[in-house]
Structures are given as C-alpha cells and as structure tokens.
C-alpha cells in the first residue's frame, strides 16, 4: 500500500527571528543562592544562633496568631449566649 506524501510546502528561506541580547544581570535566585551559601560558610555557632532566633520568632508569631484567633472565636461564641 503506497504512503501518502505530505501536501504542505517546506520553507526554503531561513527564519528571521528577533535576536535578544544576553542578560548581564544575575537572576534573583542565583543571588539568593549565593547569599545563603555565604551565610552557611559563617562559623557554626553564628549559623545556629541565627536559625534558632528565626525559629523562635516564627514560633512566637504562630502562637500569637493562634491566641488572637482563639480569643476572637471564644468571644464570638460567648457573645452569642
């Protein structure tokens, strides 16, 4: 059984696409990666202290939001009676 030949014409002229200039700026993700790499190269006690303080701040913020949300909920429910 013979195969059917394509009916579309092939382009013979080269495509002319606009050329873009290469970026000279460093992407943000690379900058953050370099900053994190620099941070991890600090002495171990400094890294652990900074991570501990950041964890305490994050935990405190979560506890505060939980407390505010719970008190607002209790006040709404208690106000209904």
Each residue's pLDDT tens digit, 36-63: 999 999 999 999 999 999 999 999 999 9
Q: Is residue 62 part of a domain?
A: yes
Helix (H, G, I), strand (E, B) or coil at 43: coil
Rounded distance, CA 74 to CA 68, Å? 10
Helical ranges in the chain per DSSP H: 28-40, 44-79
Q: Is residue 52 part of a domain?
A: yes
Structure tokens at 75: 């006040």
Query: Could you tell me the pTM of the whole model?
Result: 0.55
> What pLDDT is recorded for position 34?
92
The parent domain of residue 53 ranges over 43-81
What is the domain count for the chain?
1
Q: Is residue 74 part of a domain?
A: yes
Q: Is residue 23 part of a domain?
A: no
Cβ of 52: how many Cβ atoms within 10 Å? 10
> What pLDDT is recorded for position 79?
79
């Amino acid at each position: 059984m013979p195969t059917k030949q394509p009916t579309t014409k092939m382009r013979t002229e080269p495509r002319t696409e606009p050329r873009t200039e290469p970026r000279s700026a460093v992407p943000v993700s690379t900058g953050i990666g370099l900053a994190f790499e620099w941070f991890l190269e600090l002495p171990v006690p400094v890294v652990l202290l900074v991570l501990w303080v950041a964890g305490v701040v994050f935990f405190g913020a979560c506890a505060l939001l939980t407390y505010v949300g719970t008190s607002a909920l209790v006040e709404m429910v208690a106000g209904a009676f």
